[in-house]
Structure 1
C-alpha cells in the first residue's frame, strides 16, 4: 500500500471525524488490522488497546461470514450495531472495512451518507 493511499484514507477519516457525534473512524484491512484513522481528539476508547484489535478482527470476520449470503440476499451496504454505550457502523469498500463508533443517539444514516461521500471524493478510494 502506497503512502499516498494511506494519506487519502487518513484524510477521509478526518472528514468523518468532523461530525459532532462520531468518536472513532478506522479503516481495517482484510486481516482486521487498522491501517488508518483513530479516535477524535479528546475521546478515549471504552476498551484497552489489545481488546480494540481483537474487536477489529471480530468485526472483519463477522463481515466476511455475512458475505456468504451475498448471492442470495445481495451485497452488504453497511452493518449497524447499537449498544447501550454507543453505536458501531461497519461500511465495506472494495478493499477495506470502514468502522465508525459514534454516540448512541447519532443518526446512523446521516453518518453513513457522510462516510460514503468522504471516501468517494478522494482519489484512489472507491466504495
Structure 2
C-alpha cells in the first residue's frame, strides 16, 4: 500500500467511501496527521470546512499515536470510534509498503452501525488491499 502516492490514496478513499451509503467522508492521513487523500459522499454538506478537517486529522492521528503507548499491555489498536450528536468518527491505523504509519479517518451518519461497517466492510477491504 503506497499511500505516499496521492492518486493511490484518493482512489482508495473513494473505494472505502463507496462500501456503504452511510459513510460521509474518508480520509487517509500520514503519521504527522497530514491528509494525503480524501473522498466525500456526493452532495454532502460537510459539517467542517477544509481547515477544520485538517485540524481534525492531526488531532485524530495524535490521539491514535498516544493510544500506542499502551500497546504493550493492551495489544495493537485495531480502530477507535467516537459518537457525536451529528456523526460518528472512526480512526483505523494502517501500515504502508514503506512501513510508514497511515490512518484511515472515516465519518458516518449518526444512524450508521459503524462497528458493523468497519469490521465487515472496511477491515475486509484493507485486508484485500494489503494482499495485492
The answer to whether residue 10 in structure 2 is matched with residue 10 in structure 1 is yes
> How many angstroms apart in 1 are the aligned matches of 2:14 and 2:7?
10
TM-score between the two structures when normalised by the length of structure 2:
0.83
Q: Deviations over 1:68-120 (max 9, x none)?
A: 00001111111000000000011111221100001011111222131112223
Match of 1:53 in 2: 54
> How many angstroms apart in 1 are the aligned matches of 2:50 and 2:3?
24
Tell me if the contact between 1:78 and 1:90 (Cα under 8 Å) persists in the aligned partners: yes
Tell me if the contact between 1:9 and 1:119 (Cα under 8 Å) persists in the aligned partners: no
Which of 99, 110, 123 is matched with 2:105 structurally? Answer: 99
Compute the RMSD of aligned alpha carbons: 2.2
> How many angstroms apart in 2 are the aligned matches of 1:15 and 1:35?
15
Residue 38 of structure 1: how far off its partner (Å): 2.1
**CA 1:56 to 1:35, structure 2 compared with 1: closer, same or farther past 3 Å?**
same
| Aligned residue pair count | 124
Tell me if the contact between 1:30 and 1:60 (Cα under 8 Å) persists in the aligned partners: yes
Match of 1:119 in 2: 126
TM-score between the two structures when normalised by the length of structure 1:
0.86
Identify unmatched segments of 5+ residues in structure 2. Answer: 96-100
